[in-house]
Chains A and B, each alone.
Chain A
C-alpha cells in the first residue's frame, strides 16, 4: 500500500522549525554571555527626601567605574552601570532589582537601598542566585543573622553594632570624666532609630555603669517640628543627650534646639552629625557636638582619603556622603575579586570576595576586609570626635579599636542567638 503524505507541515519540518526557533530565541543569551561589556544593576533612591544620598551613591560608583574601565574593566570587560530609582520603597526596589537581572541582563547587583529596601533586594538575590553587594544598609541583622545568610550576597557598609560599640565606649569615657550620669535620648521612631539607640545605651551603660537614661523621645521620621521634644528634654534636665536623627531631620532639630540654647546645657552626642550633607547645611552649627565619623575627608587622616574626597568634589561640585565611600569601596572590592578569580562568573567572584582584603582610602589601617564568616565589611575607619562650625568640621577623631569591636560584636551575636 502506498503511503500518501498528509497535507500541511510534516513532523520533520515541525521539528526543524522548533529547533530554528529555539536557536533564534536563545541567540541573545548566547550573545550576552559573550558580550564585551558587563552590566551591573543598581536600584537606589533617586527621588524623595533622601534622594541626595542615592545620588551620592550613584556618583561614587560612576567615579570608581570610570577608573576600572580606564584600566581594562573587569577581566577585559567594560562595566556598564544600569542605575534605577526605587523611590525608597521596598516593593519598588525588589521589582527594579528583578527587572534589572531578568530584562536588562545585568549579571550582578549593587543594592543602593536603605535598610528597609535592602532586605527586599536581598530576597531577590536569594531567589535569582545573582551576585549582590549591599552598599548602603547599616542594619546589623542583614548579615549578622544567619537566617539572612546567602553565599552570593555581601555587605560593603558600616554596621550599626560597630558604631554603637565605638560610640558607647567614647561617650562612656566622657561621661566618667565629666560626671554625666543622667542621659536623655531623642531618635526617629522606626527600626533604625530604635535599634541604634538601644545598642548605644547598652554599651554606654556597660562602660559607664552609673549612667541612667531618664528621658526618651521618639519623634516621627521627617517630623517638621521638634519644639515639644526640645522642651521635654529641657524639662528632664539631662547631662548628656544621644540622638541618631539624620539628614534634614537632624538639621531641623539643631536649628530648633539652638534657639532654646539646648547645646549649652548638656553634652550632645549625634552619631550622624559628621557627614557633609548635615555639616554644610546647618548655618549655625554649635561647637562641641560629639559625632561618629560618617564621611569626612580628614578621617582617616591620609593623603589617599583627602585626595579621594577632593576628586569627588571636583567632579560633582559637592562633598561625598557616608553612602559615597561605601559604594566606592564596593567597586574597589569587586575589581580586586574579579582580578583574583580571573573571571566575571558570579559564583567565582563571590568565592574570591569572601575574606578578601584590599588597599582602600577608607580603611582604618589603609585596608578593608570582606569578612568571610558573615560576608560583611570590617576594618573601615570608625571613630568619634567633636564638631566645629567650619572646615575641617571634626578636627580630631578618636579612632575605634577594631580588636574591642570584634570581641564585643561576638558577645552581642551570642546574646542575640546568631552564633
Chain B
C-alpha cells in the first residue's frame, strides 16, 4: 500500500490528468465490449460467453484491412462491419436454436464457439502473436494538458467510444427501432403478435453487440498484441462491469466501465499489489449493497 503516492497524485494536476485519462481509456474500451454483452442479455436473455471472440475478430479484421489498404479508417470499418456480419450469422444459425433451452445448454454452445473461434483464428492468422502497429497519423508526441500526458490516439479512442455510447443511448430511447427493441426485451410475445419479426430484432441486436465488441477490438489493435484467445481476459473484466452496472443496463455498463478504469488507474498508484483485488472488492461491495447492480432493475 502506498497511500502517499496516491495522495501526492491527487494533489498534483499533472498526475490527476494523466491518471484520469488513463482510467478513461481502460474504461471506454471495456464499455464497448460490456455494452454489447449487456444489450444481448437485456433483449435475448442470453449470457453470451463467446462475446470476447468478437473483440478478437474485430482486432484481426482491422489488422488485415490495415495491412492491405494502409487506411486506419477502413481498418476500423472492417473491424466493426465484419464482426456485425459474423454476429448476425452466429445468432441466426446457432444461438437462435438454443433460446428455449436451459442455461447450461446455452453456456455449452457459447463455450464451444469460444474454442472453435480461437482455432479458426489460429488456422487463418497463425498461433503466434501479431501487432498491427500505430498508424503514422498518430505517431506523434503526446499532448501535455495541465502538465499531464495524453496521447492523441487515446483521445480519438475516448471520442469514438463516447459517440458510440450516445448514439446507442439516444437510438434506444428516441427512435422507433429502439422502442421495438425495448418492447421485445420486455414482452417478445406481444411484439411478435403485433406483426413484428422478432427473429430479425434478435439477429440485429446480436449483430449490434458483436459490432461494438469488434469496434473495441479494432480500436485496441494498434496498441495491444493480437493472439488467439485474446478475447478471454477482456470478457472477464466485461462481466465484472456488467455485474457492477446491472445486467441489461447500458448506463450501468458505462458507469461500471469508467469506475473499473479509474480504480485500475488510481489503484495502481495507491495499492500496487492489490489493483486486481480492488476491482473484485468493489464488485463484492456493489453486489452486497445492490444485488442487481448499480442500475439494474430489482427483481420482484
Contact = CB atoms under 8 A, between A and B. Distances in A.
Interface of A: 47-49, 51-52, 55, 216-218, 220, 222-225, 227-232, 234-235, 247-249, 251-252, 255-256, 258-261, 277, 281-284
Given A52-B127, A235-B15, A259-B134, 20 more contacts: A47-B127, A48-B229, A49-B229, A220-B276, A222-B233, A224-B224, A224-B230, A224-B233, A227-B154, A228-B23, A230-B22, A231-B19, A231-B149, A251-B131, A255-B134, A256-B223, A281-B130, A282-B131, A283-B131, A284-B134
B247 interface: no
A281 B225 contact: yes
28 contacts: A51-B127, A217-B268, A218-B273, A224-B233, A224-B234, A225-B26, A225-B29, A227-B25, A228-B264, A228-B267, A231-B18, A234-B18, A235-B5, A251-B225, A252-B223, A255-B131, A255-B223, A255-B224, A256-B223, A256-B224, A259-B153, A259-B154, A260-B142, A260-B151, A261-B149, A281-B129, A281-B131, A283-B133
A183 to B, nearest CB: 16
B139 A228 contact: no
A48 B229 CA distance: 8
Interface in B247-270: 264-265, 267-269
Contacts of B153: 259
Interface in B146-169: 149, 151, 153-154
Given A259-B223, A261-B141, A231 B129 contact: no
Nearest to B134: A284
Contacts of A282: 131, 133
Contacts of A52: 127-129
Contacts of B64: none
Most A C-beta atoms less than 10 A away, residue of B129, B149, B265, B267 = B129
Interface in B99-151: 127-134, 138-139, 141-142, 149, 151
B225 A252 contact: yes
B227 A49 contact: yes
A141 to B, nearest CB: 24
A217 B264 CA distance: 13
A344 B281 CA distance: 58
A252 B233 CA distance: 14
Interface residues of B, number: 45
A137 to B, nearest CB: 21
B41 to A, nearest CB: 23
Contacts of B273: 218
B10 to A, nearest CB: 12
A391 B38 CA distance: 47
Nearest to A216: B272
B291 interface: no
Contact of B269 (A55, A232, A283): A232
B178 interface: no
A228 B22 contact: yes
A222 B229 CA distance: 11
Given A259-B138, A283-B133, A248 B151 contact: no
